[in-house]
Chains A and B, each alone.
Chain A
Amino acid sequence: MRKGSRSRTHWLIPYAAAGVLSLGLGQRSGAAADDARAWLEKMNQALATRNYDGTFFHLSEGRVETMRIVHRVKAGRVTERLQSLDGSGREFVRNNDELTCYLPDQHTVLVEPRQDHGPFLGSLPRFGADVDEFYLIESLPASRVLGRAARVIAVNPKDQFRFGYRLWLDETTAMPLKTQLCDAHGQVIEQILFARLEMPETIADADLAPAVHTEGMRWVRQGPSTEPPAAALSAYRASELPPGFHLTVSGAQTLGGASVPAAHLVYSDGLATVSVFVEPEATGKASTADTPSAPPEPPMEGLARVGSGFAFSTVVQGHQVTAVGEVPAQTVEFIAHSVKSFASPPR
């Protein structure tokens, strides 16, 4: 998969604004903004390099999920486990090589290779001043979370095409004890609130082992495809983008259960990221004459909520186009609707 100049960072660090805290010094950097950035850098380092074991609430639309995160750095290897404690029983376990998603309620285990071999700190994205054009970073009055003194940092979007963040960072460890996802008006969309956070010197293997019994479960592998997408798919690009977004990755992705790779495009403004998948054909075509008894799977069209983000699907010239991201609905709509095929792909 071809990537842009900016390398991606570690994943599965919950509510860690790895991207947020990698913001470079920009034109607007006053002393307060510099201080805020320095705290974000501290948070980034803590999240990537420390051991921690915590339980947090994930609040969205009045719903609460209780989850546990365990993160261990041992001999240069990072292992993480994210576990739902009160709902689905789902778990993610990630090591340097792959991510495994246990979905006991769907009797499925989803596995995807992950290529994050480099040290986390070495692979952090470094953003230039261009991010300042779309986000304003500032320090807010200090507060308390979990009985601890906390620095409060806000990353405010300057328009309606992206979300912002507020982070409550532990004064001692710089760990994010509380984070909020906000819209351009400061309205809270989703928040994460730690109820327990420990940072032990060592973490036992048992704490990183999934609790799910996988007997009888279906194992599905997906990931970047070694085969390039068909030429017809490679020709698709967004013809226009919201301000600040640019193409950072283009490649092929095998989606769960698919026999042919889809084209995968990634657009980013430095913090917010949108993936666009272009699949070989709208699936509604497949099941008519040959399999009259099988219920047709209709092509997808429309908007779906994905946590605090959105997915928008449409059909373009017979191909299924889906934009997904932690961005407002209008951003995925904007991008999905602008996707079109270019006979000669742009270089």
Chain B
Amino acid sequence: MTRRLPQVAGVALVATVLALAGTPRPAASQGAGVVNCDKCHGNRDFIDRRRDRRRADTLMYVPRSALEQTAHQTLQCARCHEQYDDGYPHDARARVVPCQSCHEQAGLDWEASVHKANATTRGDAPQCTGCHGTHQVYPTSDRRSSTHPLNVAETCGRCHADERIIGTYFSTADKATASTAVAKYYETVHGHALTSAGLTVSATCNDCHRSHKVLPSDSLSSSIHRDSIPATCGQCHEGVVEIYDRSAHGSALVRGDTTVTGHRAPSCVDCHSGHGMVRADEPSWHTGAVEECGTCHEELYESYFDTYHGKVTRLGSDLAATCADCHSAHDMRPATDTASTVHPRNVVATCQPCHEGAGAGFVQFQTHADPRDREKNPQLHFTWLFMNALLIGVLGFFAIHTTLWLARVTIDYRRALRGGGSPPAHGGGSEGDA
């Protein structure tokens, strides 16, 4: 109690000064009648004496100064707290006005979100105040705001990094990404940009998942549904998405094409996995991207690792060409497309950045040759057959040669022992020399 005294005195002093300074208070402009909330709710002593034990006094102690510089600083208490009057207990009709009455669109978006559904049924998902707070609702541009870009991950993390919430909602295998989302976010290029470089323009949770209309990726109207991802990423990465949209992947996504295995065309996060995103100039990206491409392009993946490019990359080189170095990162197109980097007309230019001086002969190298394919690669196929025959032939012949030799020497050795003589010193001259 005594420790709180200076604090209380300070607040009281501030309240008094503010009252004396004549804080603008257009009385009774909103709500019913002349209401002086500050008289009670700005009086720390009063609140402390009258507080309901069940509620934290901080909720009830709301001096006028609490709203200073917030987005709501010009609002009267009654704008949100309808039908409250001077008397106590307050009017039975008193209620908190829904935020939606002003913030209509945000309200509608929230109504459509997964948060609304769980807030209603389970009560453990956030409503407006869960993210924005109650009285200290600062504009998003204010560093103190819980929705300021530098604070969003922490705000979302209050629930999404919470063991209990993760256990309730994200414990199944298909929700694995969500279960580690916040921690992983800080390791992504977006997270690094935010925490290390302090970039407020870097994407944080709500830039991809939306602020109010938060929906899981399998929901058709979700911002992170496969079909919406290019547009979502394109809010910032406009130059990339305009290239991607024209690529084989982008156009297949729009057409809704599926592969024989039933896979849809990849959108941004299939290669730049949402919460595992790294900078493209990091070594881990260099090898990781190949794995991503390989999940669909299985044969090309296999044949890539038959080549020097693939083998050195697998050993950790970040110099040798990987998929995107030849096929381009976002503008990948079939080799039949004249705008493709691997179209015969363009392939010399594609090899040259690494192989200076490469010409028409050089590019006849088959980057995805399959020695087992006689139709496509006859020369290679027969070379491969010959080498295998040679390997098996030579080693096979000498395996027999060696085994028989060992057997013969062993037999002779035993025979010599049984015959009572000493074993042959040098083995060689047994029966033959005798």
Q: Do A and B come from one complex?
A: no
Binding site for B on A (CB under 8 A): none
Binding site for A on B (CB under 8 A): none
